[in-house]
Amino acid sequence: MRNVNNILRRNRRILKKLFPPSGETVRITKQKLDSKGFLPEYFTHTTTNKNGRMYYCCYDYAYQQLKSGGCVIVKFHAKEFHAKTQS
């Protein structure tokens, strides 16, 4: 169990480092995530947006895999995060 928590925390740190300070959504390549040691099969939960697209979450950061092979990284704010995890 401790190993899973360590992987989840590492995934979150990677997403946080790649997320810009401006708070804007960022697009990156899957290769860049992989090169940082990100393990996409480990996530805390999933959520879908209003368009039905699924996001894989690592605590308050989330990523969406794009058909082009890239990823989009977003950050949930406290209110938004709790609202999404409660549903």
- Residues 49-56 have a mean pLDDT of 91
Domain limits for position 40: 2-86
pTM, full prediction: 0.83
Ranges of H-type helices in the chain: 2-18, 30-35, 78-86
If one counts the domains in the chain, the total is 1
Label residue 76 by pLDDT band (50, 70, 90).
Answer: confident
Distance CA(56)–CA(43), nearest Å, equals 6
